[in-house]
């Protein structure tokens, strides 16, 4: 169908005056040539004087318009699915292990956190009453805390995928509450935080004070990283005496994890280093240094995580141990120590170099060290996290030497000083050091007569300890002194634990000390007994002679005063009056006070206050005569004991 | 210790959305195993309904936007398909009309006004009471057979918090420009 063209004509012919009052005629014709039809339209015109112009006929044009016979709907719209862009993240599958043993009873399951309600639990004050950390299996268990510890992405996780990986992990409390991983004991809140902190870091220095559970936090961090597929192969290096301790703790906290200890002949050790499928390797520092330096570079084993326990062992950057540790092929580096700084802040730089957070051989200043410490070091002290822990009671037993001891001491000191003076310019700190050791040994007992003021006092104290069914730990610098004491303290069924005891025999000794009610005393050397052992069931500690460094003494004391301790720990330091011991004690005390005054934070337990050469000379009113006046003397570490 | 453990598996999906002021909505879907360990995560870019959509969808706008559009897209994208999708938003239950996977809304024990939830459309699963889509009552029967795979006291709302945090992190680092 076509539309008809329409022609329109509009005529206007009104006079100006008429236009103002008359309607304007409009004509529309239907066909061409038709007579126009006049349509009356009224137009009001203003009196402007130009109205005569309206007398002219307007120019009219016409155009053809096509009429549409279809009605359009505008605007058109229909629902459609907009394509959405997505951002995705696939998380590693992780490792699955054989299911842990189910709890034997509902009560046991509840105690282990297996039956946790979403909001069930108690506050951390109550949870803090439970026994956990580096503990034995005798601890009590509190209900699951209400708080949720989430893993936070570290500052150096920049990509969105990395950050989402950490944010999407479940709260540690539910992860570890027995739904997937059975924990034998409920960790404390600060331990959850430590685990979450370790989990998220490639470079970490866990520097919690001794006794707060660095071992447990490390094992659980490893466990979670293995579970989440972040790591598959771990190397743990520790001092040799601590290997049985780590083995035991792995059995306690992660019994499903296979642990291989590097030991045996050279060929066997080499096979173990490269053993495929070995999930966790444990080795001591000496084995690491010896074995890895013998393996060709192309055959060096690779690890996802290297953990150094008692990491102060690599504080000397140039030592072969430190160089070997830094050369281990690894992706993550964790260091554990309760004493990150033993003598100088530069020791921290050695640890940071191992952790690969500073360039090799660089020497960051204190401001830079402090900034790095905030990101890479986690340190908590017992004062901060264990406010309800029974106190440690220190008491100094200042003893007069017996007559025989005094005579021997006086003679030895006089002769020694004469000999030192006779040495003239050839005197060295080693000469002075030898005299100090000789005098200290006499304060322990007179080698000729066997008299000992310390022994008399010790026997008196031990009779009380034994009568009350208590247990005590005695530390000495010398294994010879320990053997001497062992003979004279048989009424207390003493046990001996020092470097001369073969490693396989050490665990049974500790077990006997714990379980035998008649074993009231264990005699330990600082070197072997000061680190890594859990003896919180002992309520008494005797320091029969003093170590050179209060930090080492603190480590020894913290074998007993640690998490899980139920009663106050009484620490007795034997100091012979008017002897070299009293002078050393005074110097160390002054240095500790000076350091506390400088730092002012009260946390000076991580600082070694070892005597340097000048101070050793000063003990006998001698002067350091050589350029090594500031060099520390004495054993670098109690392993030498 | 042994290698991988073959056992009956239940994959859970946790779906949440987040409104960004002026930019619309983003959604995230977290797939976990039955212990809540994350396996996969997908999130959308922001989507904002236009004016005609707001007018024409009316009250069904959010169920369409959050459930069908965002939820449906995410469910298509994940490579690990869940056996159950959990959300805290009743609007997302609309997703059930576009998938064969049961979609449930984790409820508080009581509605905000104190009226107990309708017992007929809910069931207890893990530590939560779950609400099903009214048009799919068979979902309750399907889930009842998998109840034993979830610990009785499991907190099914906790992973939703993780999804919300992950969405907030994504918005902060990617879409906030």
- Give A20-63 pLDDT, tens digit per residue: 444 444 444 445 555 656 666 666 666 677 777 777 787 888 99
SS3 A188: coil
The string of pLDDT tens digits covering residues A93-126 is 766 655 544 443 333 333 333 223 333 332 332 2
> How much is the pLDDT for A177?
67
Q: HEC states along B44-73?
A: ECCECCCHHHHHHHHHHHHHHHHHHHHHHH
Are the Cβ atoms of B35 and A180 closer than 8 angstroms? yes
Q: Which residues of B touch A258 (CB under 8 A)?
A: 1
Q: Looking at chain B, which residue has its C-alpha nearest residue A95?
A: B4
> How much is the pLDDT for B177?
57
A456 versus B152: which is more confidently predicted? A456
> How much is the pLDDT for A75?
64
List CB contacts of B143: < 8 A, sequence separation 6 or more.
B84, B102, B104, B123, B125, B130
DSSP string, A508-543: HHHHHHHH-TT--EEEEEHHHHSSS---TT--EEEE
**H helical segments located in A364-402:** 366-376, 382-385
Query: pLDDT > 70: what percent of chain B?
Result: 86
Side by side, the strands of the sheet bearing B12-20 are A86-90, B38-44, B24-32, B12-20, B84-87, B103-107, B128-132, B122-125
Long-range contacts of A154-163 (CB under 8 A, 24+ apart): A154/A200, A154/A201, A154/A202, A154/A375, A155/A375, A156/A202, A156/A375, A157/A200, A160/A87, A160/B169, A160/B170, A160/B173, A160/B174, A161/A89, A163/B169, A163/B173
Are the Cβ atoms of B5 and A148 closer than 8 angstroms? no
Neighbouring-strand partners of residue B116: B110
> How much is the pLDDT for A624?
45
| Residue A306 DSSP label | E
Residue A11 near residue A27, CB atoms below 8 Å? yes
- Domains along the sequence of chain A with CATH: 1-66 (no CATH), 198-385 (3.40.50.10810), 392-640 (3.40.50.300)
Cα separation, A278 vs A130, in Å, equals: 34
> How much is the pLDDT for A358?
92
Are the Cβ atoms of A170 and B159 closer than 8 angstroms? yes
The predicted complex's ipTM stands at 0.89
Are the Cβ atoms of B5 and A96 closer than 8 angstroms? yes
> How much is the pLDDT for A14?
40
Q: Which residues of B touch A115 (CB under 8 A)?
A: 151-153
> How much is the pLDDT for A551?
73
Looking up tokens 């003979």 gives A487
Residue A235 near residue A100, CB atoms below 8 Å? no
Element (H, E) at A27: strand A23-27
Q: What is Dmax (Cα atoms) for chain B?
A: 61
Are the Cβ atoms of B38 and A91 closer than 8 angstroms? yes
A175 near B CB under 8 A: yes
Q: Which residues of A touch B52 (CB under 8 A)?
A: 77
CA distance B91 to chain A (A): 18
> How much is the pLDDT for A601?
45
Tokens of A372: 């790095």
> How much is the pLDDT for A594?
59
Cα separation, A498 vs A511, in Å, equals: 15
The string of pLDDT tens digits covering residues B45-100 is 999 998 888 998 999 999 999 999 999 999 999 999 999 999 999 999 999 999 99
> How much is the pLDDT for A593?
66
Are the Cβ atoms of B151 and A115 closer than 8 angstroms? yes
Q: Which residues of A touch B77 (CB under 8 A)?
A: 86, 88
The burial class, CB within 10 Å (0-12 / 13-18 / 19+), for A638 is buried
Looking up tokens 């084995």 gives A287
The string of pLDDT tens digits covering residues B108-140 is 655 555 445 554 577 887 778 888 888 898 888
Are the Cβ atoms of A164 and B30 closer than 8 angstroms? no
Point out the residues of chain A with pLDDT beneath 70.
1-47, 72-82, 94-146, 177-180, 342-343, 386, 388, 530-532, 591-613, 621-641
A223 near B CB under 8 A: no
SS3 A259: strand
Residue A611 near residue A636, CB atoms below 8 Å? no
> How much is the pLDDT for A276?
82
């Amino acid at each position: 169908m076509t539309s008809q063209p329409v022609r329109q004509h509009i005529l206007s012919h009104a006079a100006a005056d008429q236009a103002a009052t008359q309607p304007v005629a409009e004509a529309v014709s239907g066909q061409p040539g038709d007579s126009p039809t006049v349509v009356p339209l009224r137009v009001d015109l203003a009196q402007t004087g130009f109205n005569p112009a309206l007398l002219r006929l307007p120019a009219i044009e016409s155009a053809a318009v096509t009429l549409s016979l279809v009605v359009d709907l505008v605007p058109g719209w229909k629902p459609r699915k907009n394509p959405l862009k997505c951002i995705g993240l696939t998380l590693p599958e992780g490792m699955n292990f054989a299911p842990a043993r189910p709890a034997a009873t509902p009560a046991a399951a509840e105690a282990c956190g297996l039956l946790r309600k979403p909001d069930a639990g108690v506050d951390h004050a109550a949870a803090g009453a439970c026994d956990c950390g580096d503990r034995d299996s005798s601890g009590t268990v509190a209900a699951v805390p209400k708080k949720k510890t989430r893993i936070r992405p570290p500052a150096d996780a920049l990509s969105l995928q990395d950050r989402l990986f950490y944010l999407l992990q479940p709260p540690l409390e539910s992860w570890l509450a027995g739904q997937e991983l059975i924990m034998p004991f409920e960790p404390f809140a600060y331990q959850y935080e430590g685990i979450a902190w370790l989990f998220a870091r490639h470079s970490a220095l866990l520097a919690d004070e001794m006794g707060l559970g660095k071992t447990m936090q490390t094992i659980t961090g490893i466990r979670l990283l293995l579970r989440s597929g972040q790591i598959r192969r771990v190397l743990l290096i520790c001092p040799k005496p601590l290997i049985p301790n780590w083995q035991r703790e792995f059995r306690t906290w992660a019994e499903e994890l296979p642990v291989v200890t590097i030991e045996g002949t050279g060929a066997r050790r080499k096979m173990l280093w490269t053993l495929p499928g070995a999930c966790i390797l444990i080795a001591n520092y000496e084995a690491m240094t010896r074995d890895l330096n013998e393996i060709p570079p192309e055959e060096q084993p690779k690890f996802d995580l290297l953990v150094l326990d008692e990491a102060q062992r690599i504080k000397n950057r140039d030592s072969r141990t430190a160089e070997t540790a830094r050369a281990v092929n690894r992706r993550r580096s964790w260091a554990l120590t309760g004493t990150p700084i033993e003598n100088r802040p530069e020791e921290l730089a050695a640890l940071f170099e191992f952790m690969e957070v500073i360039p090799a051989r660089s020497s960051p200043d204190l401001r830079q060290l402090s900034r790095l410490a905030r990101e890479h070091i986690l340190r908590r002290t017992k004062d901060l996290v264990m406010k309800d822990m029974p106190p440690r009671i220190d008491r100094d037993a200042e003893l007069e030497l017996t007559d025989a001891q005094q005579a021997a001491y006086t003679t030895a000191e006089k002769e020694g000083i004469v000999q030192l003076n006779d040495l003239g310019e050839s005197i060295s700190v080693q000469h002075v050091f030898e005299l100090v050791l000789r005098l200290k040994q006499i304060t322990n007992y007179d080698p000729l007569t066997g008299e000992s003021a310390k022994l008399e006092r010790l026997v008196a104290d031990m009779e009380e300890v034994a009568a009350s069914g208590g247990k005590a730990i005695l530390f000495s610098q010398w294994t010879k002194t320990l053997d001497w004491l062992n003979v004279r303290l048989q009424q207390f069924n003493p046990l001996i634990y020092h470097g001369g005891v073969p490693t396989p025999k050490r665990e049974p000794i500790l077990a006997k000390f714990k379980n035998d009610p008649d074993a009231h005393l264990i005699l330990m050397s600082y070197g072997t007994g000061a680190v890594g052992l859990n003896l919180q069931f002992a309520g008494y500690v005797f320091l029969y002679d003093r170590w050179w460094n209060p930090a080492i003494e603190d480590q020894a004391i913290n074998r007993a005063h640690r998490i899980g301790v139920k009663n106050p720990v009484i620490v007795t330091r034997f100091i012979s009056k008017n002897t070299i011991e009293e002078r050393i004690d005074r110097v160390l005390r002054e240095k500790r006070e000076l350091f506390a005054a400088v730092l002012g934070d009260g946390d000076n337990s991580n600082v070694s206050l070892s005597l340097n050469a000048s101070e050793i000379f000063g003990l006998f009113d001698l002067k350091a005569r050589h350029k090594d006046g500031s060099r520390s003397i004495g054993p670098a570490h109690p392993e030498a004991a | 210790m042994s290698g991988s453990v073959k056992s009956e598996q239940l994959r859970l999906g946790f779906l949440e959305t987040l409104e960004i002021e002026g930019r619309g909505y983003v959604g995230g879907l977290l797939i976990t195993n039955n212990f809540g360990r994350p396996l996969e995560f997908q999130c959308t870019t922001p989507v904002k309904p236009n004016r005609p959509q707001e007018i024409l969808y009316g009250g069904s706008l959010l169920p369409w936007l959050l459930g069908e559009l965002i939820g449906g897209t995410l469910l298509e994208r994940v490579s690990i398909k869940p056996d159950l999708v959990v959300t805290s938003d009743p609007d997302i239950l609309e997703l059930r009309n576009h998938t064969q996977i049961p979609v449930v809304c984790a409820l508080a024990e009581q509605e905000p006004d104190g009226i107990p939830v309708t017992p007929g459309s809910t069931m207890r699963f893990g530590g939560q009471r779950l609400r099903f889509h009214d048009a799919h009552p068979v979902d309750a029967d399907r889930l009842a057979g998998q109840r034993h795979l979830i610990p009785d006291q499991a907190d099914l709302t906790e992973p939703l918090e993780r999804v919300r945090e992950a969405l907030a992190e994504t918005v902060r680092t990617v879409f906030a420009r």
